[in-house]
Structure 1
Amino acid sequence: MKSLRVIVVVAVLVIQVYSQRYRPEQQFNNFQQNNFIRNTPQIPRNPQSSASCPEKNGRYPTRTCDGYIECKDGVPEEKVCFDGLLFNPAAGVSAFPCQYPIDVDCTGREQTQPAQPTEECSHQYGYYRVGDAQNCGQFKNCVEGRAYIFDCPEGLAFNDVSYRCDWPDEVATCDAEAYLGFSCPPDARQFGLGQEGYRYFRSPRDCQRYFICINNKPRLYNCGDGKAFNDLINACDGIENVTGCAVPQYQSQNDYRGATTRLPTRIVG
């Protein structure tokens, strides 16, 4: 009987430990904190705030876009987002309240705290383009003032308006022709109907890649391993079917301008 009691006590302890370490809501909070802002420090607070609570529990905007009031059981506490992030009133209760500027509407509360730049970042947090209009395939994610550099996939450019990698011709700050190293001839052959038709050209640097000209702006494509662009059919074909084609061997992703392979990960709240 005594041994049975010991087994029951041990089982209860195991269940308690398991439930504390693997609760779904705790796992969600850990995932959110680790993936949205790594090593997040304490949010600055104003304990002397004269703010009030519209409701007993919730988060409410202040006159600044990066400030908010958090109410718990009717007790208000004024907080400020980290530099570079803004308070999103539309964020759910389980979401992190401070998010990137593209996800937040600051109408009527445009003022923010002074920037806290570092040698690497203009703000403590955020996404920013690296390079100029002729080198627009990289971007950096700033976390606690430290920059982490990422490359867009081959032939794409970072769009600092949407925080995405887009076609270079769709990025206002990118010179697609200079970036890809190719200009579409004005008298190019046209396929399709109307002036929006596609225009195809094999890359002058190798036959595995080719360009599609849309509105006289180039977009880079890759046929893939064992294939090459065949001018006779205006499509990718087996490399053995393309006369005089020899696929070059690149030593690194920078050997072909605009060609990168690492996929970026956008961190969202």
Structure 2
Amino acid sequence: MTKIILVLATIITIVYGNFKCPLKDGQYEDEVQCDKFYECKDGYPTEKLCPDGLVFDPFNRKINKCDHVFNVDCAERLELQPPQPSKNCPRKNGFFPHPDPTVCNIFYNCVDGQYNENICTAGLHFDENTGICVWPATANRENCRPVGQKLTDGFECPSVRPVDSHGHNVDHPKYAHPEDCQKFYVCLSGVTPREQGCSEGSVYNEKTEMCDTPENVPGW
């Protein structure tokens, strides 16, 4: 009988590692990995992972104790599962800064690998330590360029950006010049304006967003 008990104990250790459930059923954090936890039932642990990008909060009273990194003190539990990145999402879930470190007023809210782009109120920067927009001095981010830039003719990029057929914000939207049909504007990352011009004999076509021959442009 003693041998059987030892064999069962060895199997449990192999399956569940060194974690031992407390007397009370519930969810308990892993000692080294912040997004790993154990669900204990009748003294037996089931190892689980939070969705990629979220971490386990042992003090959360909700049934789902996985939360954003900036809401949880991981202390010494610094390890995380391998990331599952996608466009603009270093991990599947979370709030992430713009990939260009000079663009500090744009950030992405990623849910299950799908992102929504957000723009801070004018004059604010995104703070990845808190997941919100704050004053630049509070965010203390390096390489940030001034926001709300204007060209010498007064043009500045609209705060609301156009979206594509999939409902995503256009990365570098274009806008026609109000007076010169050969000219147009490009807003880099939606916020930095640049004036561009078509070659001699062609004009800007708002419908195709390209330079075109005058006869193909409505109203010419």
**TM-score calculated relative to the size of structure 2:** 0.56
Matched, 1:83 2:52: yes
The structure 1 residue matched to 2:82, chosen from 95, 101, 114, is 114
The structure 2 residue matched to 1:66, chosen from 25, 31, 35, is 35
Q: Distance in 2 between matches of 1:119 and 1:133?
A: 16
SS at match of 2:147: helix
> Which position in structure 2 is the counterpart of 1:125?
93
The offset of 1:158, in angstroms, is 1.0
SS at match of 1:253: coil
Q: Distance in 2 between matches of 1:176 and 1:251?
A: 17
> Which position in structure 2 is the counterpart of 1:96?
64
Does the C-alpha gap of structure 1 residues 151 and 178 become closer, same or farther in structure 2, counting only changes over 3 Å?
A: closer
> Which position in structure 1 is the counterpart of 2:132?
164
Aligned length: 148
CA contact 1:68–1:80 (8 Å) conserved in 2: yes
Give percent identity, aligned residues only: 31
The offset of 1:132, in angstroms, is 3.7
Further displaced range: 49-58 or 119-128: 49-58
Q: Distance in 2 between matches of 1:145 and 1:176?
A: 26
User: 1:56 corresponds to which letter in structure 2?
Assistant: K
User: 2:138 corresponds to which letter in structure 1?
Assistant: E
Does the C-alpha gap of structure 1 residues 67 and 177 become closer, same or farther in structure 2, counting only changes over 3 Å?
A: closer
C-alpha RMSD of matched pairs (Å): 3.3
CA contact 1:133–1:179 (8 Å) conserved in 2: no
SS at match of 2:38: strand
Q: Distance in 2 between matches of 1:112 and 1:174?
A: 26
> Which position in structure 2 is the counterpart of 1:28?
none
Q: Distance in 2 between matches of 1:68 and 1:160?
A: 24
User: 1:76 corresponds to which letter in structure 2?
Assistant: P
The offset of 1:127, in angstroms, is 0.5
What do residues 188-213 of structure 1 show as CA deviations (whole Å, max 9, x unaligned)?
xxxxxxxxxxxxxxxx999xxxxxxx
Q: List structure 1 segments (4+ residues) > 3 angstroms apart after TM superposition.
A: 72-75, 131-134, 174-177, 254-258
User: 1:117 corresponds to which letter in structure 2?
Assistant: P
Does the C-alpha gap of structure 1 residues 100 and 164 become closer, same or farther in structure 2, counting only changes over 3 Å?
A: same
> Which position in structure 1 is the counterpart of 2:5?
none
User: 1:78 corresponds to which letter in structure 2?
Assistant: E
SS at match of 1:161: coil
SS at match of 2:107: strand
> Which position in structure 1 is the counterpart of 2:159?
253
Does the C-alpha gap of structure 1 residues 119 and 70 become closer, same or farther in structure 2, counting only changes over 3 Å?
A: same
User: Which stretches in structure 2 are left out of the alignment for 5+ residues?
Assistant: 1-14, 161-186, 193-220
- Larger RCO, structures 1/2 (Cα 8 Å, 6+ apart): 1
User: 1:152 corresponds to which letter in structure 2?
Assistant: C
> Which position in structure 2 is the counterpart of 1:49?
16
Q: Distance in 1 between matches of 2:142 and 2:38?
A: 40
CA contact 1:86–1:98 (8 Å) conserved in 2: yes
In terms of fraction of residues, the more helix-rich structure is 1
SS at match of 2:146: helix
SS at match of 1:179: coil
User: 2:84 corresponds to which letter in structure 1?
Assistant: Q
User: Which stretches in structure 1 are left out of the alignment for 5+ residues?
Assistant: 1-47, 183-203, 207-247, 259-269
CA contact 2:157–2:191 (8 Å) conserved in 1: no
Q: Distance in 2 between matches of 1:75 and 1:88?
A: 20
